[in-house]
Amino acid sequence: MKSKLKYLTKQSFKKKVNTKWFKAVNIILLVLFLFLANIDRIISLFGGDFQEEETILLKDESNVTDLLETTLTTLFSTYQQDRNYKVLRSEEDIQTLKENLNDQEKNIIIHLFDDEKNYLQAEVISYEEISLTTKQMIVSALQSVKEEVALQRSPLSLEEKNALMMPISIQMVTLNDQNSEENKEIVGMIAAFLFILPCFFLILMLVQMVGAEINDEKTTRSMEIIISNVSPQVHFLSKIYASTLFVVVQALLVFLYAVISFGFRMLFSGGGSLSGDMLNQVQMVLHTAQETGIVNLLLQGLPFLIILFLSSFFLYAIVAGVFASMTTSLEDFQQLQTPMMLIIMIGYYLAIMATQMEGAIFIKAVSFLPMLSFLIAPVLFLIGQLSLWELAFSSLITVIFTFIIFHFGLRIYKVGILNYSSSKLWRKMFQSLKKK
């Protein structure tokens, strides 16, 4: 019987993987990942107004143009790499410059005046409202120049001036540095990308897959031929194993596509290092993850997380299998699976809310509930609201619950798979629970 289980599992897995749709979907996924990882470059490739050069014209009547030009250029090249700025000094009179703005709408004029009392005055002229970022850059640069002018004019010694210009030394001390708001946001982001979203989609896929396959065999009398040769238990297990194996393989493939996509971006970024805003953010997240101890936490909890995920996958596959055995068509199964989908949705929202509602007793209690725990418990564990032992306990509850559901579900499955009528369905199923 073991060899038949192995054969049925292999056959069921092959049936899912050896289809043109599986191949097509995976090619599409890879293309989409490549697209997402390089979305900023693709947008730039096609161009648009955002690429138009913005010229900042400096009309100086105060002899600080050199300083302002350097400050502005430094600021823009540091914080606005994607935008195309040019800083120029102009000798034309201010009236002509203003008139020219009608033709060159993107240009900005900074008219500087000397001020005895306030050191520096400026007039910023533009055709349209300046963007907030650009405005901030200009204000920041002018403030910096003003401070410089003030320092130059002050009677302070060079030493004093240098000390004044030095950036302030600030030492941030947080007593409970593991739970800072910033960290929580990053953890929430990591948890969403690592667990919540992938698991949500994988479970949806798993439930559909189990249901469709069992229904396919039920719609013809092939189920009778199969069950006359292998026990319902072997048949049921083969469906659970094959579908779970499939979603695990699909998850690994998705991970591989993500690696390929970022690798592709690195390869064509020149120099072989991470570059660009998106990758900087990824790098920053990874760095923070390491710094905040999430990596260590993940490693500590990994065995329990794997148990929790696998047992939850099995649990959903079992429930889907039992539902599919009870129904006589795919349409009926799709109706019956709706409550299951809603349960996953609840888990999804609670997991998202867990990072925002610190210490919520309800969410913590739900993290021990099978069918929901696999979405919530990992998040709570990563943000420090669930200890390692609590995570282990949550996994244990799911494992035990999965065994119980399999034990009783098999009784329904045995009767359900050979039942072709929907009359007195629930009565038949409840009666089957009593049969060993």
Question: Site residues (CB under 8 A) for other proteins?
Answer: 1, 4, 7-8, 11, 216-217, 220-222, 224-231, 418
CA distance 220 to 130: 69
What is the distance in angstroms between the CA of the first residue and the CA of the last residue of the chain? 20
**Nearer residue to other proteins within complex by CB, 224 or 332:** 224
Provide, rounded to whole angstroms, the least separation between the CB of residue 431 and other proteins: 8
Q: What are the respective helix, strand and coil percentages of the chain, to the nearest 5?
A: 70, 5, 20
Report whether 429 contacts 326 (CB < 8 A): yes
CA distance 19 to 277: 38
Report whether 88 contacts 106 (CB < 8 A): no
Report whether 334 contacts 422 (CB < 8 A): no
Provide, rounded to whole angstroms, the least separation between the CB of residue 277 and other proteins: 47
**Nearer residue to other proteins within complex by CB, 2 or 117:** 2
**Nearer residue to other proteins within complex by CB, 236 or 381:** 236
Question: Furthest-apart CA pair in the chain: how many Å?
Answer: 102
Provide, rounded to whole angstroms, the least separation between the CB of residue 227 and other proteins: 6
Provide, rounded to whole angstroms, the least separation between the CB of residue 22 and other proteins: 14
**Nearer residue to other proteins within complex by CB, 16 or 265:** 16
**Nearer residue to other proteins within complex by CB, 118 or 219:** 219
Provide, rounded to whole angstroms, the least separation between the CB of residue 189 and other proteins: 42
**Nearer residue to other proteins within complex by CB, 373 or 432:** 432
- DSSP annotation of 51 reads G
- How many other CB atoms sit within 10 Å of the CB of residue 111? 19
**Nearer residue to other proteins within complex by CB, 239 or 265:** 239
Task: For residue 218, give Cα distances in angstroms to 5, 8, 186, 340, 431.
Answer: 19, 16, 47, 21, 21
**Nearer residue to other proteins within complex by CB, 11 or 281:** 11
Provide, rounded to whole angstroms, the least separation between the CB of residue 220 and other proteins: 5
Backbone angles phi, psi at 104, to 5 degrees: -115, 80
Planar angle of CA 79, 83, 89, nearest 5 degrees = 90
Planar angle of CA 408, 409, 415, nearest 5 degrees = 105
**Nearer residue to other proteins within complex by CB, 225 or 252:** 225
The bridge status of strand 119-126 relative to strand 108-115 is: antiparallel
CA distance 366 to 370: 9
Buried b (16+ CB within 10 A) or exposed e, 7-30: ebbeebbeebeeeeebeeebeeeb
Classify 126 as helix, strand or coil: strand
